[in-house]
Amino acid sequence: MTIEISTEQVTHAHKSKPFIEAEGLRIAFGATPALDGIDLTIAEGEFFSILGPSGCGKSTFLLLTAGLLHPTGGKISVEGKPVRGAYTNAGITFQNHNLLEWRTVLDNVLLPLEIRHIKNDRFVTRAHELLAMTGLDEFENHYPHQLSGGMRQRVAICRALVCDLPLLLMDEPFGALDALTREEHQLLLQDIWLHERKTVLFITHDIREAILLSDRVAIMSPRPGRILDLLTIDLPRPRSQDVSESPEFIEYSRRIRSQLFAKPLSSKMAASKMTGKTK
Ligand SMILES: Nc1ncnc2c1ncn2[C@@H]1O[C@H](COP(=O)(O)OP(=O)(O)OP(=O)(O)O)[C@@H](O)[C@H]1O
Ligand SMILES: [Mg+2]
């Protein structure tokens, strides 16, 4: 199937004002560098993904943006201000989504309001609306152990959205889901984003997911993480799963694969030839 790209439909969020800015950003854990000179600007309202192999520093970048880790060099700012201490204007879904097992679904979603001492009915209404939007309205009074993995993940997304903050930080939110559930959740997230238009920093190691969802994708090198390439995904929205059969999608995928896999494989082979260990 070939998709006609209508320029009106394509999101050009990256042309609007900067929301997250990293300049020469680096961090080391002891003597081990994890990120080595990240320069990146993410625009307000953009769906921006970081894609890279395990251990390349994706979660570390997200935690630096959230102010939960502190850089050893360079700068990071959000909304034009340097991040010092925890940045509180973001909803976060962590790589392990950490629902509180002793709280119901609704009480898990309401937790950020309690932490922020927000007592405004508007947000409670929003919690119910988000649960309905994600198909969880009948499960508000269930406990996490009574839910499937996908449902738990949706609760975590509702919790990140409940305070209606301008930034959503998502660390591999669908990593633990089976392929079919994952595809459903990707489209659900796209719907939410099209509806709410928050700035999203999305971490993934899934090439297809990154292309399907993003305005732009940054590809990171293995540790210490650097930006190898930055791709603008010019595909019309809303995107369906069928878009992955289009020639444009296949070309994006090919370009990303060539960045991710060319170097490590060839260097591994070279190393094995030098040592004579081919198997
Ligand atoms: N708190 C920490 N203390 C020491 N080393 C750390 C810490 N956090 C991360 N690292 C190291 O930094 C590197 C990057 O870790 P990070 O969790 O950011 O990788 P990642 O790209 O998110 O990987 P994955 O895809 O497996 O989640 C890894 O080598 C990791 O061991
Ligand atoms: Mg990670």
Distance in Å, CA 76 to ligand 2 centroid: 19
**Per-chain residues with Cβ under 5 A from ion ligand 2:** 59, 95
> Cα–Cα distance between 202 and 79 in angstroms, integer?
18
pLDDT at 139: 98
On the question of pLDDT at 40 being above 70, the answer is: yes
Mapping DSSP to helix (H, G, I), strand (E, B) and coil, where does residue 110 land?
Answer: helix
Which of 58, 72, 209, 221 to probe ligand 1 with, by most ligand atoms within 8 A of CB?
58
Classified by CATH at the fold level, domain 13-86+174-274 comes out as: Rossmann fold (3.40.50)
Interval 194-252: pLDDT, tens: 999 999 999 999 999 999 999 999 999 998 999 999 999 999 999 999 999 999 999 99
Nearest ligand 1 atom, CA 53 = 25
pLDDT at 122: 94
On the question of pLDDT at 7 being above 60, the answer is: no
Interval 252-268: pLDDT, tens: 999 999 999 865 554 55
Q: Are 10 and 47 in contact (CB under 8 A)?
A: no
Distance in Å, CA 4 to ligand 2 centroid: 35
E strand segments, the chain: 18-29, 32-43, 47-51, 73-78, 81-82, 90-93, 167-171, 199-204, 216-220, 227-232
- Boundaries of CATH 3.40.50.300 in the chain? 13-86+174-274
Distance in Å, CA 170 to ligand 2 centroid: 10
**Which residues, at least 6 apart from 228, have a Cβ–Cβ distance to it below 8 Å?**
219, 220, 221, 259, 260
Alpha helices in 95-139 (DSSP H): 105-115, 121-133
pLDDT at 1: 29
The whole model's pTM is what?
0.89
